[in-house]
Amino acid sequence: MAAGPWGWGLAVLPLLLLAVLRCAARRLRTRSAAESAGVSRDDDVSALLVTAHPDDEVMFFAPTLLCLGRAGARLAVLCCSAGNYYNQGEIRKKELEQSCRLLGVPTSSVTVIDHRDLPDNPSVEWDTQLLASFVLKHIEANNINLVVTFDAGGVSGHANHISLYTALRYLHSERKLPEGCRVLVLESVNLLRKYISILDVPLSCLLPRDVLFILTEEETQQARRAMQCHHSQLLWFRRIYMLFSRYVVINSLHLLEKTTLTTQGVKE
């Protein structure tokens, strides 16, 4: 039976919606990366992404790295474990360096902390004082004035992710960070929003946030190529994640001083 005009219209509607959203993302990209973050090419911004494991930088923060890089910020990554849960730490360090290069972070600016008291373990909360000391030392040694990490929900509720937030919250609340150093935390969203990819653009634009980074289709493909560097982690469920997760396309972030200083957050 031939489809009537309404049938064809309903079939085409999702494609039109995606096209509109892609266009909106392309228009918003430059303003989101520069104006919303307070970063322009005239600013002297040295940004540090603090992650828990190799592959966090692309699975959760690719929009932040790519957009900050486009806005002219100097980029560095501090990964607080080697990701050695399955004894793959040495492999994952090399994968991290390869991924970061594709995301605009030079190998010389990628640092991995491989400390026995900071194990890659989803059930272990890292010691706040120890972690904070590592992070602060790196910030001071590299003249960092913008730090990016997870919020209290850790996106997935991973204890290691949340530990990073706790450490940065401690440094901020105790006024230990260098003067002028800002901290942005990645917003944890509910499970539905997490897996609707670019369809989350309208909500992300409307809901309160301090910074919004949105990738174009070309940049999204760049992020997916970076994830291909993490060969040891490319199990079937991560491949699906890279297709549907909004974090591959969208990052909405909040300045730490505007967040509630609790360890409560959105968890899956």
Mean pLDDT in residue range 41-47: 78
Q: In terms of residues, how long is the chain?
A: 268
Task: Write down the pLDDT at residue 42.
Answer: 47
**What's the half-sphere exposure (Cβ side, CA atoms, 13 Å) at 2?**
2
Mean pLDDT of 245-250: 98
Q: How confident is the model at residue 14 (pLDDT cuts 50, 70, 90)?
A: low
185 token code pair: 């935390």
Helix (H) or strand (E) holding 107: none
pLDDT, averaged across the chain: 87
CB 51 within 8 A of CB 57: yes
Q: Which residues of 204-229 are buried (b: 16+ CB within 10 A; e: fewer)?
A: bbeeebbbbbbbbeebbebbbebbeb
75-94 burial, b at 16+ Cβ within 10 Å, e below that, comes to bbbbbbbbbbeeebbebbbe
Q: Which two tokens stand for residue 130?
A: 């120890």
Q: Is the pLDDT score of 234 beyond 80?
A: yes
Give the pLDDT score at 17. 53
**pLDDT (tens digit per residue) in 141-200:** 999 999 999 999 999 999 999 999 999 999 999 999 999 999 999 999 999 999 999 999
Q: Which two tokens stand for residue 50?
A: 């603090």
Is residue 262's pLDDT more than 90?
no
Q: What pLDDT is recorded for position 115?
A: 96
pTM listed for this prediction: 0.86
Interatomic CA distance for residues 171 and 107, integer angstroms: 27
Segments of 132-265 assigned E as strands? 146-150, 182-186, 211-214, 250-255
Give the model confidence (pLDDT) of 86-128 as tens digits: 999 999 999 999 999 999 999 999 999 999 999 999 999 999 9
User: What pLDDT is recorded for position 22?
Assistant: 55
Task: Please tell me which residue, 70 or 39, carries the higher pLDDT value.
Answer: 70
User: Domain coordinates of the chain in residue numbers?
Assistant: 42-252
Q: Is the pLDDT of residue 1 over 70?
A: no
State residue 265's pLDDT score. 40
- Looking at the chain, the whole-number percentage of residues with pLDDT higher than 70 is 80
* Homologous superfamily, domain 42-252: LmbE-like (3.40.50.10320)
- Residues in contact with 153: Cβ distance below 8 Å, sequence separation at least 6, in sequence order: 162, 188, 265, 266, 267
Confidence of residue 57 (pLDDT cuts 50, 70, 90): very high
